Amino acid sequence: DLGADSYNWTFVPIAGQTFTDSGSGQCHGAPGSADSTPPTVTLVSPLDNAADVSTNTTVTANFSETMNAATINATTFTLTNTATNSQLTATVSYNETDNTATLTPSSALANSTTYRATVTTGAQDLAGNALDQDPNTADNQAKTWTFTTEALSAPSNLSAKRSGSPSQQRIDLSWTDNSSSEASFVIERSTTSTFTTNLVTYQRPANTTSYSDSSSLQKKTTYYYRVFAVDSTGTRSASSNVASATTK
């Protein structure tokens, strides 16, 4: 019976015999055959140079052999925003069954942003061999790859409709939410279609698809509207179509 680093044995008597014996011992390699081959990263996700990656993605690295789980952690497996050169807060786990390390960011990634994943030579196999050093990377960076997150999709089908009595008018807006990762929506209102005059801005929560504007509306005035999806960093999507309505 073989275990991870030990074995047990038993002699079983044949019919008519009573002899039996058993024992145990520690496993070892043949003399001079100690493992000296450094492990490598054989597969990564997202793939190197991948585009349009979900902002809710996890990052994984598959190794060529079983690793020492204690050496796979948030120090040896990191994710960095290349624009700010800042390392993200994340949790790192390791699955010995398929030799896969998984990095899970603590919050959603920013849209339209390039990230660099790094596994350092601090990651070691069970024999203590460090991850094979890639000669094309900086010191201690055994494996690096980059990917770019998806852009925010602009809202669409924006419509504007005046309603209410002349003394209590409002303009009802509705639009289609085409993004799955926005943090909020920004609505812009202006009295010109170029949004250069009397600009007013409203902010609405994520997943919102309507808004009723009754703020300081003037009579017999045409108001123009457009909507943007906004991510957690404040980055806006492209604009929706422009919709307008005229008060009485």
How sure is the predictor about 139, in pLDDT bands with cuts at 50, 70 and 90?
low
- The token duo for 73 is 């952690």
Contact 147, 111 (CB under 8 A): no
Q: Which of 176, 230, 163, 167 is nearest to 201 (CA)?
A: 230
Q: Is the pLDDT of residue 138 over 60?
A: no
Half-sphere exposure of 225 (CA within 13 A, CB side): 27
pLDDT for 30 equals: 54
Contact 173, 158 (CB under 8 A): yes
Contact 228, 204 (CB under 8 A): no
Q: Any bridge partners for residue 230, and if so which?
A: 184, 236
Q: Find the DSSP H helices in the chain.
A: none
pLDDT for 137 equals: 57
Instruction: Provide, rounded to the nearest whole percent, the portion of the chain with pLDDT above 90.
Output: 70
Mean pLDDT of the chain: 90
How sure is the predictor about 121, in pLDDT bands with cuts at 50, 70 and 90?
very high
What residue has token string 């980055």? 235
The pTM is what? 0.67
Q: Is the pLDDT of residue 35 over 90?
A: no
Specify the DSSP class assigned to residue 248.
-
Length of the chain as a residue count = 248
Q: Which of 78, 192, 189 is nearest to 138 (CA)?
A: 78
pLDDT digits (tens, 9 = 90+) for 204-218: 999 999 999 999 999
Identify which has the larger pLDDT, 101 or 109.
Answer: 101
Q: Which of 240, 121, 230 is nearest to 173 (CA)?
A: 240
- Give the strand order in the sheet containing 210-213: 156-163, 170-176, 210-213
pLDDT for 213 equals: 96
Distance CA 231, CA 41 (A): 32
Contacts of 85 (CB under 8 A, 6+ apart): none
Distance CA 209, CA 197 (A): 25
Averaged over 82-107, what is the pLDDT?
96
Identify which has the larger pLDDT, 30 or 187.
Answer: 187
pLDDT for 136 equals: 61
Contact 195, 212 (CB under 8 A): no
